[in-house]
A and B are shown apart, each in its own frame.
Chain A
Amino acid sequence: MAELRKVAIVGSARIPFARAYTGYAEEGNLTMLGAALGGLVEKYNLRGEHIGEVMAGAVLSHSRDFNLAREASLDAGLSPRTPGTNVQIACGTSLQAALALGAKIAIGEIDSAIAAGTDTVSDSPVVFGDKFQHRAINLSRARTTGEKLKAFKGFNLGELTPVAPSTQEPRTGLSMGQHCELMARQWDISREEQDALALRSHQNAARAYDEGFHDDLVVPFAGVLKDNNVRADTSLEKMATMKPAFDKQSGHGTLTAANSTPLTDGAASVLLASEDWARARGLPVLAYLTLGQVAANDFAGGEGLLMAPTIAVSEMLRRSNLTFADIDLFEIHEAFAAQVLATLKAWRDPDYNRVTLGRDTPLGEIDPDRINVRGSSLAYGHPFAATGARILGLTAKSLATSGKQRALISVCTAGGMGVAALVERAA
Chain B
Amino acid sequence: MAQMQTPNVQMPPSRAFTFHLDFEGLGWLTIDVPDAPVNTLSRETLAELAGIVTALEEMASSGELKGVVLLSGKDSGFIAGADITEFDEMSDPGVLRAALDRAHGLFDRIEALKVPVVAGIHGFCLGGGLELALACHYRVAVNDDRTRLGFPEVNLGIFPGFGGSGRSIRQAGPVDAMQIMLTGKLLRASPARRMGLVDKLVRVRDTLRWEARKAVLQARKSSPAPFTKRVMALGPVRGYVANKMRAEVGRKAKPEHYPAPYSLIELFEQHGDDWRAMKRGEAERFIPLMNSNTSKNLRRVFFLSEGLKKQGVRGKDKPVFRRVHVIGAGVMGGDIAAWCALRGMGVTLQDLDMERIKPALDRAKALFRKRLRSKTEIDNAVARLEADVTGKGLARADVVIEAVVENLEIKRKIFAEAELKTRPGAILATNTSSIELERIAENLTAPGRLIGLHFFNPVAQLPLVEVIRSRFNADADIARGAAFALAIGKSPVVVKSAPGFLVNRVLMPYMLGAVQRVEAGANKEQIDAAAVAFGMPMGPIELMDTVGLDVGKSVAEELGNPVAPDSQFARLIADRKLGRKTGQGFYTWSNGKAVKGEVPPHPDLAGLGRELVQPLVNATAVAVAEGVVASDDLADIGVIYGTGFAPFLGGPMQARKDGRA
Q: List 12 A-B contacts (CB under 8 A).
A: A22-B376, A23-B383, A25-B375, A25-B376, A74-B204, A212-B396, A220-B344, A222-B376, A223-B381, A224-B380, A225-B346, A228-B383
Q: Which one of B204, B381, B383, B384 has the highest number of Cβ atoms from chain A below 10 Å of its Cβ?
A: B383
Q: Given the interface contacts A26-B376, A212-B396, does A74 sit within 8 Å of B384 by beta carbon? A: no
Minimum Cβ distance to chain B for residue A7 (Å) = 29
Which A residues lie within 8 Å of B206 (CB)? 74
B392 within 8 A of A: yes
Q: Mark B628-658, 1 if CB is under 8 A from A, else 0.
A: 0000000000000000000000000000000
Which B residues lie within 8 Å of A351 (CB)? none
A210 within 8 A of B: yes
* Chain A, Cβ-Cβ closest to B384: A225
Which A residues lie within 8 Å of B306 (CB)? none
Bound complex: CA of A23 vs CA of B384, how far in Å?
11
Bound complex: CA of A74 vs CA of B375, how far in Å?
30
Bound complex: CA of A228 vs CA of B384, how far in Å?
10
A215 within 8 A of B: yes
Which A residues lie within 8 Å of B374 (CB)? 26
Residues 69-114 of A contacting B (Cβ, < 8 Å): 74-75
Bound complex: CA of A223 vs CA of B392, how far in Å?
22
Residues 203-233 of A contacting B (Cβ, < 8 Å): 210, 212, 215, 220, 222-226, 228
Residues 332-386 of B contacting A (Cβ, < 8 Å): 344, 346, 374-377, 379-381, 383-384
Which A residues lie within 8 Å of B346 (CB)? 225-226
Q: Which one of B379, B380, B395 has the highest number of Cβ atoms from chain A below 10 Å of its Cβ?
A: B380
A223 touches B380 (CB 8 A): yes
B322 within 8 A of A: yes
Bound complex: CA of A315 vs CA of B435, how far in Å?
69
B383 touches A220 (CB 8 A): no
A23 touches B392 (CB 8 A): no
Which B residues lie within 8 Å of A225 (CB)? 322, 346, 383-384
Bound complex: CA of A74 vs CA of B206, how far in Å?
9
Minimum Cβ distance to chain B for residue A139 (Å) = 28
Known: A212-B396, A220-B344, A223-B384. 7 other contacts (CB 8 A): A23-B383, A25-B376, A74-B204, A223-B377, A224-B380, A225-B346, A225-B384
Which A residues lie within 8 Å of B380 (CB)? 23, 222-224
* Pick from A24, A74, A212, A224: contact of B383, CB under 8 Å: A224
Bound complex: CA of A226 vs CA of B385, how far in Å?
12
Minimum Cβ distance to chain A for residue B515 (Å) = 44
* Pick from A25, A75, A215, A224: contact of B396, CB under 8 Å: A215
Q: Which one of A210, A215, A220, A225 has the highest number of Cβ atoms from chain B below 10 Å of its Cβ?
A: A225
Closest 8 CB pairs of A and B: A223-B380, A225-B346, A25-B376, A212-B396, A23-B380, A26-B376, A224-B380, A225-B384
Chain A contact residues, CB within 8 Å of chain B: 22-26, 74-75, 210, 212, 215, 220, 222-226, 228
Which A residues lie within 8 Å of B383 (CB)? 23, 224-225, 228
Q: Given the interface contacts A220-B344, A223-B344, A225-B346, does A210 sit within 8 Å of B392 by beta carbon? A: yes
Bound complex: CA of A225 vs CA of B320, how far in Å?
14
* Pick from A75, A224, A228: contact of B204, CB under 8 Å: A75
Which B residues lie within 8 Å of A215 (CB)? 322, 396
Q: By DSSP majority rule, is chain A's interface helix, strand, loop, or mixed? A: loop
Bound complex: CA of A224 vs CA of B322, how far in Å?
11
Minimum Cβ distance to chain B for residue A48 (Å) = 12
* Chain B, Cβ-Cβ closest to A80: B206
Minimum Cβ distance to chain A for residue B389 (Å) = 13
Minimum Cβ distance to chain B for residue A18 (Å) = 9
Q: Mark B393-414, 1 if CB is under 8 A from A, else 0.
A: 0011000000000000000000
Q: Mark B228-259, 1 if CB is under 8 A from A, else 0.
A: 00000000000000000000000000000000
A-B contact count (CB 8 A): 38
Which A residues lie within 8 Å of B375 (CB)? 25
Bound complex: CA of A13 vs CA of B322, how far in Å?
16
* Chain B, Cβ-Cβ closest to A45: B316
Bound complex: CA of A24 vs CA of B395, how far in Å?
28
Bound complex: CA of A223 vs CA of B395, how far in Å?
22
* Chain A, Cβ-Cβ closest to B398: A215
Which B residues lie within 8 Å of A210 (CB)? 392, 395-396
Which B residues lie within 8 Å of A226 (CB)? 346
Which A residues lie within 8 Å of B322 (CB)? 215, 220, 225
Which A residues lie within 8 Å of B379 (CB)? 22-23
Which A residues lie within 8 Å of B392 (CB)? 210
Bound complex: CA of A210 vs CA of B209, how far in Å?
47
Bound complex: CA of A225 vs CA of B344, how far in Å?
9
A212 touches B395 (CB 8 A): yes
Bound complex: CA of A25 vs CA of B376, how far in Å?
7
Which B residues lie within 8 Å of A24 (CB)? 376
Minimum Cβ distance to chain A for residue B322 (Å) = 7
Bound complex: CA of A29 vs CA of B322, how far in Å?
25
Bound complex: CA of A228 vs CA of B379, how far in Å?
11
Minimum Cβ distance to chain B for residue A219 (Å) = 10
Which B residues lie within 8 Å of A26 (CB)? 374, 376
Bound complex: CA of A338 vs CA of B384, how far in Å?
33
Which B residues lie within 8 Å of A222 (CB)? 376, 380
Bound complex: CA of A112 vs CA of B377, how far in Å?
36
Minimum Cβ distance to chain A for residue B422 (Å) = 12
Bound complex: CA of A379 vs CA of B396, how far in Å?
21
Which B residues lie within 8 Å of A25 (CB)? 375-376
Which A residues lie within 8 Å of B384 (CB)? 223, 225
Bound complex: CA of A23 vs CA of B374, how far in Å?
11
Bound complex: CA of A25 vs CA of B378, how far in Å?
12
Bound complex: CA of A280 vs CA of B376, how far in Å?
42
Which B residues lie within 8 Å of A22 (CB)? 376, 379
Minimum Cβ distance to chain B for residue A233 (Å) = 12
Bound complex: CA of A18 vs CA of B392, how far in Å?
23
Minimum Cβ distance to chain B for residue A58 (Å) = 18
Q: Which one of A215, A223, A226 has the highest number of Cβ atoms from chain B below 10 Å of its Cβ?
A: A223
Which B residues lie within 8 Å of A220 (CB)? 322, 344
Bound complex: CA of A3 vs CA of B376, how far in Å?
52
Bound complex: CA of A26 vs CA of B378, how far in Å?
12
Minimum Cβ distance to chain B for residue A93 (Å) = 24
Bound complex: CA of A222 vs CA of B373, how far in Å?
13
* Chain B, Cβ-Cβ closest to A22: B379
Bound complex: CA of A312 vs CA of B376, how far in Å?
41
Minimum Cβ distance to chain B for residue A125 (Å) = 18
* Chain A, Cβ-Cβ closest to B374: A26
Bound complex: CA of A262 vs CA of B574, how far in Å?
58
Residues 260-293 of B contacting A (Cβ, < 8 Å): none
Minimum Cβ distance to chain A for residue B387 (Å) = 13
Bound complex: CA of A210 vs CA of B393, how far in Å?
8
Which A residues lie within 8 Å of B396 (CB)? 210, 212, 215
Bound complex: CA of A226 vs CA of B380, how far in Å?
10
Minimum Cβ distance to chain A for residue B452 (Å) = 27
Minimum Cβ distance to chain B for residue A388 (Å) = 26
Bound complex: CA of A212 vs CA of B395, how far in Å?
9
Bound complex: CA of A212 vs CA of B377, how far in Å?
25
A23 touches B344 (CB 8 A): no
Which A residues lie within 8 Å of B395 (CB)? 210, 212
Bound complex: CA of A26 vs CA of B377, how far in Å?
9
Bound complex: CA of A75 vs CA of B383, how far in Å?
27
* Pick from A23, A74, A228: contact of B376, CB under 8 Å: A23
Minimum Cβ distance to chain A for residue B434 (Å) = 34
Minimum Cβ distance to chain B for residue A35 (Å) = 12
Minimum Cβ distance to chain A for residue B585 (Å) = 39
Bound complex: CA of A226 vs CA of B392, how far in Å?
16
Bound complex: CA of A10 vs CA of B346, how far in Å?
27
Which A residues lie within 8 Å of B344 (CB)? 220, 223
* Chain A, Cβ-Cβ closest to B345: A225
Which B residues lie within 8 Å of A224 (CB)? 380, 383
Bound complex: CA of A159 vs CA of B346, how far in Å?
47
Bound complex: CA of A154 vs CA of B291, how far in Å?
77
Minimum Cβ distance to chain A for residue B420 (Å) = 16
Q: Which one of A24, A25, A222 has the highest number of Cβ atoms from chain B below 10 Å of its Cβ?
A: A25
